Amino acid sequence: MSSDISPVSGITRRPGGVRAAVQVMAGYTPGEQPRDGQWIKLNTNENPYPPSPRVIEALHGAITGDRLRKYPDPLGTAFRHTAARILDIDPDSIIIGNGSDDILTIVTRTFVSQDGVVAACTPSYVLYRSLAEIQGARFREAPFGSDWSLPPPFVFHEADLVFLPNPNSPSGTMVSSQVLASWIDELGRPIVIDEAYVDFADQNALRLAANSNIVVTRSLSKSYSLAGLRFGFGVAQPAVIREMLKVKDSYNCDALSLVAAQAALEDQDHLRQTRAKILATRRRLEENLRLLGYDVTPSQANFVWCRRHDRPVRPIFDELKRRQILVRYMSFAGYGDGLRISVGTDAEIDRLLDELRRIG
């Protein structure tokens, strides 16, 4: 293909006909996923405990030739009714997703035109920038306050869509629903409240999804230990959900993940038990990191964000990796760097703390 200028888009066409917006972007890099079992993985916020035994049982029961050979229910009706009952919301206010990343993509494509504007606070989940870039939209960011408070809403006045993870990553901090409600009201723009980590927090903002500007997203990857199965969902007014349904792939969720997700939500006791263990380990991790001289941000998620004011943390990350412990090193322009450490089992966190003491 030639390197001509497309008269319609004004974008230079590169060899192969790939959109310039795609060619110039680096692409989102997910956390490392080593495939052997020797690593202590504290880098992608997976749950260290297995999913509910009811999920395992339901999956084995669901593996029939008939279920595999037929297309799944495109709307996930059975799952939506279960989720609606447990969360006390309208089934028609729920859209199913192939992980909550799928929902984030669907929302972006529903609300943001090419040359539109996606906005987010920083430091935050770096995928939001990638979603803007893929769509060909501009990305605007504004820093959180030093106490992780929200910037004034007017800084996002031109946004077609704002992403706000709550709890935020990498900080693990949370904006209260009350503050959030008035901030969104003043914002007056469509917003995604990304509640991927909310099951580890003291509160959530699901009720706000009754407002027309708001989509709340949930993931089963973290709190329900189902990262491998890819399941999440979005909650919004039914009129907004109907628009999002036009954008999603018809059969975006497979028959087994639908069964597993439903079984996972049915076992709220398992969620409570797993959550209690992770919160206890999180507290211990925070306390011990402080004793080791780290600046630790109090977390409402299943990870802890820590920094050092006395030296760079990149060498600590490298040393941990050399010892087969993976955490996430993150650096943000105008902010600095830090380590995001997922809350593992007690044994994993003990091993991490031992190595950190040795590294000194």
Interacting residues with its own copies between 230 and 249 (CB under 8 A): 230, 237, 239-240, 243, 245-247, 249
Report the sign of the C-alpha dihedral through residues 354, 355, 356, 358, in that order: positive
Q: Which is nearer to its own copies, 115 or 354 (CB)?
A: 115
Nearer to its own copies, 58 or 289 (CB): 58
Alpha carbon distance 112, 219 (integer Å): 22
Residue 282 in contact with residue 322, Cβ under 8 Å?
no
Q: Is 115 left (phi over 0), alpha (psi -120 to 50) or beta?
A: left
List the one residue from 5, 12, 85, 115 that touches its own copies (CB under 8 A).
Answer: 115
**In terms of Cα–Cα distance, which of 75, 74, 94 is closest to 238?**
94
* 3-state percent breakdown (helix, strand, coil) of the chain, nearest 5: 40, 15, 40
Contact between 50 and its own copies per CB under 8 A:
yes
Q: Which stretch binds its own copies (CB under 8 A): 87-95, 96-104, 278-286, 325-333?
A: 96-104
- Closer CB to its own copies, residue 319 or residue 346? 346
Measure the CA–CA gap between 241 and 96, rounded to whole angstroms: 10
Q: CA nearest 263: which of 222, 235, 225?
A: 225
Contact 18, 136 (CB under 8 A): no
* Assigned token pair, 79: 């799952």
* C-alpha span between 208 and 235 (Å, rounded): 10
Q: Which of 42, 83, 89, 98 binds its own copies (CB under 8 A)?
A: 98
Task: Classify 51 as helix, strand or coil.
Answer: coil
- Is residue 209 close enough to count as binding its own copies by CB under 8 A? no
44 binds its own copies (CB under 8 A): yes
Rule CB under 8 A: say whether 260 interacts with its own copies. yes
Give me 1's structure tokens: 């293909």
Tell me the closest approach of the beta carbon of residue 318 to its own copies, in angstroms.
23
Query: 300 or 302, CB closer to its own copies?
Result: 302
Q: What is the largest CA-CA distance in the chain?
A: 62
Would you say 240 or 304 has its CB closer to its own copies?
240
Figure out which of the listed residues 40, 94, 118, 161 binds its own copies, where binding follows CB under 8 A.
161
Instruction: Count the alpha carbons within 13 Å of 86 in the hemisphere toward its beta carbon.
Output: 17
Using rule CB under 8 A, residue 5 touches its own copies:
no
Q: Which H or E run contains 131?
A: helix 127-135
**Choice from 210, 256, 271, 279 touching its own copies (CB under 8 A):** 256
Tell me how many residues contact its own copies (CB under 8 A): 94
Q: Scanning residues 51 to 70, which ones bind its own copies (CB under 8 A)? A: 51, 55-56, 59-60, 63-70
C-beta closer to its own copies: residue 218 or 230: 230
| Site pattern 10..39 for its own copies (x: CB under 8 A) | -x---xxxxx-xxx-xxxx-xx-x-x----
Determine the interface stretch with its own copies among 4-12, 163-171, 324-332, 351-359 (rule: CB under 8 A): 4-12
Residue 160 token pair: 């077609």
Helix axes 77-87, 255-266, angle to 10 degrees: 20
The CA distance from 163 to 193, in Å, is 6
Candidates 42, 72, 172, 201: give the one binding its own copies (CB under 8 A).
72
**Does residue 295 touch its own copies according to CB under 8 A?**
no
Q: How far is the CB of 68 from its own copies (least distance, A)?
A: 5
Measured from the CB atom, the residue of 188 and 315 that comes closer to its own copies is: 188
Residues 123, 136, 167, 170: which binds its own copies (CB under 8 A)?
Answer: 136
Q: Where does this chain touch its own copies (CB under 8 A) — which range of 113-121, 178-186, 192-200, 278-286?
A: 113-121
Q: HSE on the CB side for 277, CA within 13 Å?
A: 15
The answer to whether 252 contacts its own copies (rule: CB under 8 A) is: yes
